[in-house]
Amino acid sequence: MKIFIIITGGRTGSGFLHSILDGHSQICHFPGDFFFDEFFEIARKEKSAISIAKLFCKEYKYFFDSRYNKFERFNKLGESKKDFFLVNKKKFIEYFIKFYKIQDKNKLNLLKNLHLAYAAAKKENLKKKKILLLHLHHGFRLKIFKDLNYEILYTVRDPKTNLSSFFSSWRRYNKQVIDPWSYYFNMKRVIRGLQELKSYKNKIHVVKLEDMHLRNKFIVKQLCNILKIKFEKILNYSTFHKKKWWGDMAMKNFLNGVNKNFTNKFDDNLFFDKDIYFIEKSLKNFMTKYKYSFSFKKNNYNYLYIIFPFKMEIIMLNHSFKNKKLRNIFEVFYFYIRRVLLFIISDIRQVLSKKK
């Protein structure tokens, strides 16, 4: 099986992409993120196939009973929002023991046989499987795959909406302002994510969230061509275990599949004008290539303005003072400095790339 790995560029619809590919007879996958790098580190200490299988069932129990995964709303699947799915753990363990040879213990065999055992436990036809689809989610987790052959499906979105959605959705879900580390992590992912993926030298297929909604038929056809799979009607729907999926709990509303009226909206209360200007300036090449619109057409700010705090940083600082979070106060300043350096370095790299 050929390996394709889903990596997100932020709040960019990686789960939505995964849900579109769910249910296809030629694709082998787990229903959700699988942090294989973390699992491999603990599984490599196990001495038998049965102990590895039991460990997997323990660590990823929501793959076997979706009611455990409330964040992804896997307890509210289907038209009624009352469905869920179950996979027999005993059958999974039996198949894994049958497929996996402990003497051939390596990353590729472990990854493939976990997926095959899961598909077999779901009573799927293994002979049809051509693609192993892994939703690894974070780009930094690719380090473990440096010696394997794979391609990347990378989801992107308009940068302003991406940043706004991440800040707002997590604040809404956690009932508090996002922490400084998470803010910087996502900012770096938006500004440098695609460039950092290119360092792995694997083929990258960029998928725009906007296109998944507004050009859905084109994207589905494109995905079939990329994965070299046949078209099946299930690709027209957003599902997990072939049950309708409504999006995760970080979303304000339930996502009703493909939205032909999809629009990018960002909360301008989270940005100063200069913030948007410098974000677009640092992402000029990216935004031009993927046809995202600019709010600023010319140089409106002196470059020294880059050292002034962004509005999100001020919101985090005010929240930290108000709630007397001394650690967060320190971290706001620390990650503010890192954010400034991130933008300066990104701009330098962008200039140097033009000269090559």
Q: Tell me how many degrees the CA angle 165-169-170 measures, rounded to the nearest 5.
A: 120
Q: Give residue 289's pLDDT.
A: 95
Distances (CA, A) of 261 to 211, 250, 264: 11, 21, 10
Mean pLDDT of the chain: 94
Structural domain including 324 reads 271-355
Q: Give a yes or no: residue 336 inside a domain.
A: yes
The confidence score (pLDDT) of residue 354 equals 66
pLDDT of the residue at 297: 72
Residue 104 has pLDDT above 90, yes or no: no
Query: Same domain, yes or no, for 224 and 314?
Result: no
What pLDDT sits at residue 61? Answer: 97
pLDDT score, position 220? 97
Strands 131-137 and 239-240: unpaired
Give pLDDT, residue 300: 79
pLDDT band at 124 (very low <50, low <70, confident <90, very high): very high
Domain co-membership, 239 together with 291: no
Q: What is the pLDDT of residues 182-201, one digit of tens each?
A: 999 999 999 999 999 999 98
Average pLDDT over residues 6-28: 97
* Number of domains observed in the structure of the chain: 2
The answer as to whether 253 is a domain residue is no
Average pLDDT on 214-222 reads 96
Residue 347 lies in a domain: yes
- 115 and 62 part of one domain: yes
Which pLDDT value is given to residue 309?
Answer: 97
pLDDT value at residue 212 = 97
More confident residue, 298 or 281: 281
Give the model's pLDDT for residue 223: 98
pLDDT at 350: 75
**311 and 217 housed in the same domain:** no
**265 in a domain, yes or no?**
no
Is residue 14 located within the same domain as residue 161?
yes
Same domain, 232 and 351: no
> Binning pLDDT at 50, 70 and 90, where does residue 102 land?
confident
- Within-domain flag for 163: yes
Express each pLDDT in 286-325 by its tens digit.
999 999 999 887 777 888 999 999 999 999 999 999 999 9
Asked if residue 83 belongs to a domain, the reply is yes
- Within this chain, do residues 237 and 291 fall inside the same structural domain, yes or no? no
The distance of Cα 134 from the centroid of its chain, to the nearest Å, equals 11
Report yes or no: 298 and 278 within 8 Å, Cβ to Cβ: no
This prediction has a pTM of: 0.94
Q: In this structure, are 92 and 26 located in the same domain?
A: yes
- Tell me the average pLDDT across 233-244: 96
pLDDT surpassing 70 at residue 355: no
Q: Which pLDDT value is given to residue 251? A: 82
Model confidence at 74: pLDDT above 80:
yes
Least reliable range by pLDDT among 91-105, 120-134, 329-343: 91-105
Is 193 among the domain residues? no
